[in-house]
Amino acid sequence: MRKVHLITFGCQMNKLDSELAAEALADAGHILVADEAEADLVIVNACSVREHAERRVLSRLARFRGRRESENGFRLGLMGCFAERDGEALLAALPYLDFAVGTRQFFRLPEIVDRLEDGDCGLVLLSGGTESGPGVGKAGPRRRHRGIQAFVSVMRGCDNRCSYCVVPDVRGGEISRPPVEAAAEVRSLALAGAREITLLGQNIDAYGRKDGWSLAGLLRLIDAEVPDETGLVRLRFVTSHPRDVTRELAGAVDSIPRVARHFHMPAQSGSDRVLFRMRRGYDRAAYEERLAMLRKEVPGSAVASDFIVGFPGETERDFLDTVNLVETAGFQNIYVFKYSPRPGTPAARDFADDVPDEEKRRRNRTLLAVQERIGLECGRRLIGTRQLVLAEGPSPRDPDRWIGRTGENRVCVFPSPPSGEDWRGCLVLLKVESATHLTLFCRPAHDGSGEAAKAVPNEEDESWL
């Protein structure tokens, strides 16, 4: 039996895959260790969406070279998107790497470890395949979970072909999990202590479209099958493609109190010319129309977005269109990425990466500075309001304070609860006292009796706002 340490890079889907891999290994009798020095098998789960991520992974792998060469029995493996895309080449290039396992095969890790023990292979490569499906080869819901937040993958892969994106290559086409199975997993995680569950899918609004299911229907099913008594207080979902966000989905978000009024709906650019070359399937006006629909159908909702700067051919004028979108859209938060050509993608094949890195960096900084101003204005407007916050625990930066999040995904910092009280996983009612562009600084809001309110008010009742 091995002592296994997992290192994860990348998105929430990768983090979830690491949890599932850990569970499969634990089920097979291996021991998971938090300290990599104790491990005799290290598995790096790596992302491939941008070149920068791959470089970090390579240097992380190289740090194990010495141990692989000097410690008898130490083994090193790679899983995830990077393994799927480049596993074969990496195995050939890195003599200290023992195996690479792709995004749709990692549930077979116990088998791979057995083969390592048999010494028959040293190197194993498994890529492609669809047999794992979105449940990653697991028939039933997961049993192990710690912490108040949990992720549930409801669909995997993506059928879009945005010209810059490697996801369809490394994660394959869309496969959705049956609603009943997804709801059962949410229920079992809630019963195991999860208070906030995030449904994951690369393009989650397309959930079930090939099978006659919908995300709105799934949210309603989960709401019915996972009653309040299980302890589930919040349900989220990411990531939304602007083209697939429907009025029906907005209606479900608006009408189910436990569904967070938050959408992560990446625009990627504010320029029609760039959006067309990105093959996003919408133009600026269509994006703004979706945004207006969400704001109307889900009052008070917050929208976060992703942007790529320095896409091939992006002129200063195109970039200013993006700046203008950020100035007018009122995003809760944005994530900005410098374009990174990914081998095998249409953009890398058809267009020269012609925006110099220094210019990409300038555009990145500029866009973030614009959002910082907008975020600060939004935050200041919330001063004096009361917010229902899911308490997560002590702030990693300041042990005297706690952090939590609003349904709109705003981070709140507040004084630690009185000693002896553990508010982790509780909804607390807080009053906003000051704000930066990303954080709201709060105090407990008091009800008439002077007690800090810890109850769960009816979110449809606006009197507490």
| Closer Cβ to ligand 5AD, 19 or 169, answer by number | 169
Paired tokens of 281: 């399937």
Single residue of 165, 222, 233, 430 touching ligand SF4 by CB under 6 A: 165
- From the list ligand 5AD, ligand SF4, none, partner contacted by residue 186 (C-beta under 5 to 8 A by kind): none
Give the start-end residues of each E strand in 217-341: 234-238, 262-264, 302-309, 333-338
| Closer Cβ to ligand 5AD, 308 or 329, answer by number | 308
Q: Are strands 411-415 and 401-406 parallel, antiparallel or unpaired?
A: antiparallel
Run of H or E including 176: strand 175-176
User: Smallest gap, in angstroms, from Cβ of residue 345 to ligand 5AD?
Assistant: 7
Reported as half-sphere exposure (CB side, CA atoms, 13 A), residue 367 has a value of 33
Cβ burial 37-46 (10 Å sphere, 16+ → b, else e): eebbbbbbbb
Residues forming the site for ligand 5AD (CB under 6 A):
49-50, 164-165, 266, 268, 306, 308, 337, 339-340, 342
Residue type, 346: P
Q: Are 124 and 116 in contact (CB under 8 A)?
A: yes
- From the list ligand SF4, ligand 5AD, none, partner contacted by residue 202 (C-beta under 5 to 8 A by kind): ligand SF4
Pick the stretch among 91-99, 153-161, 184-192, 361-369 that binds ligand SF4 (CB under 6 A). 153-161
- From the list ligand SF4, ligand 5AD, none, partner contacted by residue 305 (C-beta under 5 to 8 A by kind): none
User: Smallest gap, in angstroms, from Cβ of residue 261 to ligand 5AD?
Assistant: 21
User: Smallest gap, in angstroms, from Cβ of residue 264 to ligand 5AD?
Assistant: 9
- From the list ligand SF4, ligand 5AD, none, partner contacted by residue 168 (C-beta under 5 to 8 A by kind): ligand SF4
User: Smallest gap, in angstroms, from Cβ of residue 415 to ligand SF4?
Assistant: 40
Torsion angles phi and psi, residue 203, rounded to 5: -140, 70
Pick the stretch among 147-155, 158-166, 178-186, 400-408 that binds ligand SF4 (CB under 6 A). 158-166
Binding of residue 202 to ligand SF4 (CB under 6 A) = yes
Phi-psi map region of 29: left, alpha, beta (phi>0 left; psi -120 to 50 alpha): left
| Closer Cβ to ligand 5AD, 252 or 347, answer by number | 347
Q: Are strands 386-394 and 31-32 parallel, antiparallel or unpaired?
A: unpaired
Q: Are 145 and 193 in contact (CB under 8 A)?
A: yes
- The residues that touch ligand SF4, with contacts defined as CB under 6 A, are 158, 160-162, 165, 167-168, 202-203, 241
